[in-house]
Structure 1
Amino acid sequence: MASEGTGVSGLAGRYATALFELADENKALDQVAQDLAAIKQMLVESPDLNRLVRSPVLSRGDQSRAMGALLKQAGVSELTQRFVGLVAQNRRLFALRGMIDGYLAELARRRGQMTADVTSAYRLSDPQVQALTDVLRAQMGSKIEVRVTVDPTLIGGMIVKVGSRMIDSSVRTKLNKLQIAMKGVG
């Protein structure tokens, strides 16, 4: 079940689980995963699409028609189109991102894959990402996908999150700890 062990619960978890089971029955796990990754990317890139999925002002029909036209234009599979249409008809588009994350997390879990979220102060080069992936694979003992984001406010270093583990070696955190320690001295 997607809501167990993936960090996705409630409404989004139930929808993600239902879609996963439907995709599994139709032997379309990978196709649906590709579709959902494309939709997630569209949500990241388009403020207008974000307003569409979050707007309580738009009617069910308007949201459903808009999403249907968008997904058809994007070449998304029929199964994914029907699923997103159902989500729109049920006025649950606001939770679509969580549903996508739940589905992708469940797929990765079933395949024995883990995801490491890495936040660094600067953009990592391809050899650095590969070296980090190799170290994490050796430590975790399983397939691992590394997602890297950049946050200049870290000043230097990085934060690595894998499952419930987090390693924060950022300069920002070290400076904050030093500041707290200095308050105790004076």
Structure 2
Amino acid sequence: MSANPLTSKIAAPYARALFDFSVEKNIMHQITADFQNLDIFLNETPELVEYLNNPVVKKEAKGEILAKTLKSQINTETFKFLMVLVQRDRINLLSAVITSYLELIYQTASIKMIEVSTASAFTNLQKNTLIQKLKELTNAREIRLIITVDPSLIGGFLIKTDSKVIDFTVKNQLQKLAKHLDTVLEI
């Protein structure tokens, strides 16, 4: 969700075009599954991402590596789309296109992507309880959490969705207390 705004702006039309195509051809589920798997695959193979992002590597070489690694694993239309990105020298935007496409899918399916920063990892019970509360608050059919652990928060958690930030962190409460004490002590 947190990507370079310029990259996101360039990637958005590609994602929208693929989204519209997938709806028209009734293959949205296949392409969505491919992109969810590709997202995981790219996160696990930084060498491939680095190779695809390298401007010195020729388009043909990038196309060949994608054909060898992905062609048999993904839908034909998804692979054709990747080749379009290669031919237009936009394969370096693949992660941003995936993110943008999945956001369109989630928005259509009433699935909310919510970023949560926490001081320590959630248990499954805590995660499920938070998801239920967020479903009630947002009226979303489904909630997808993007959880990052940040020990500097000391305790509690921070929720970011769309333009809202809800801060339940101990760090925030201590900062508020410090400001309050500063104003009280200045009198």
Provide the residue aligned with 2:137 in structure 1.
139
Asked if structure 2 preserves the Cα contact closer than 8 Å seen for 1:116 and 1:144, the reply is: no
Provide the residue aligned with 1:100 in structure 2.
98
How many corresponding residue pairs?
A: 178
> 1:174, CA displacement in angstroms?
3.7
Structure 2 gap segments, 5+ residues each: 1-6
Give TM-score, length-normalised by structure 1.
Answer: 0.85
Higher-Rg member (1/2): 2
Q: CA RMSD in A?
A: 2.1
Between the aligned partners of 2:169 and 2:52, the Cα distance in structure 1 is 35
Asked if structure 2 preserves the Cα contact closer than 8 Å seen for 1:43 and 1:50, the reply is: yes
Between the aligned partners of 1:119 and 1:80, the Cα distance in structure 2 is 33
> 1:175, CA displacement in angstroms?
4.1
The one-letter amino acid paired with 1:14 is: P
Give TM-score, length-normalised by structure 2.
Answer: 0.85
Change (3 A) 1:62 1:182: farther
The one-letter amino acid paired with 2:50 is: R
Provide the residue aligned with 1:76 in structure 2.
74
Q: What are the within-5 Å matches in structure 2 for residues 51-66 of structure 1?
A: 51-66=50-65
Provide the residue aligned with 1:32 in structure 2.
31
The one-letter amino acid paired with 1:61 is: E
- Between the aligned residues of both structures, percent identity stands at 26
Structure 1 gap segments, 5+ residues each: 1-7
